[in-house]
Chains A and B, each alone.
Chain A
């Protein structure tokens, strides 16, 4: 595809359930990032992957959040035992290298009831 894609576009879940959010980066991009955007807020960095290096998890807010990436392709962000404060738009971005411009996907809007 031409750009970063994310699925699902919307997810409604009940408090306490686990959710998985998917990101397909631009082909050939070695770096992949996850951000959280709460209503009326800027973007909050969660985690990034760069090639085969260990991911930078410094932005993950709790151990309920985790992410995986298969090689230089798809990434999955998992939130376990969701809480209402997890409700937000989760944005994925990719870049050719870490130092390059990031290109964003359309996001997944997560609503925890």
Chain B
């Protein structure tokens, strides 16, 4: 079955520190890959997506993600975290054929200490 795993439920970092949020997927073939951010009381906002081509994807708000086929991973990174980055982060995958509905991970809650 298709699945998305975000192994970290909570991540705590200090402001200015680097960040990496993990995402692993299980799919028959390389899917489309997404990262979304959800601030308190808000809907989900797309940070970045990978469809094909360069495996290092740049997104909004200074985020990037790297697709690693050999590890079935799509980890999200940011070199220097700001207090406003505190939010819930969701990884999602969608098959390249068939269903148009993405499968979402359970989310990782990012806490930023001043």
Contact = CB atoms under 8 A, between A and B. Distances in A.
Interface of A: 4, 6, 31, 33, 40-43, 45, 48, 56, 59, 91, 93, 98-99, 101-107
A18 to B, nearest CB: 24
A82 to B, nearest CB: 22
Nearest to A41: B106
A24 to B, nearest CB: 13
A101 B104 contact: no
Contacts of B104: 42-43
Interface of B: 4, 9, 34, 36, 41-46, 49, 90, 92, 100-102, 104-107
Contact of A106 (B43, B46, B100): B43
B100 A4 contact: no
B49 A104 contact: no
A104 B44 CA distance: 5
Contact of A4 (B4, B43, B101): B43
B74 to A, nearest CB: 15
A91 B101 contact: no
Given A41-B106, A42-B106, A43-B90, A48 B101 contact: yes
A44 to B, nearest CB: 8
Nearest to A50: B100
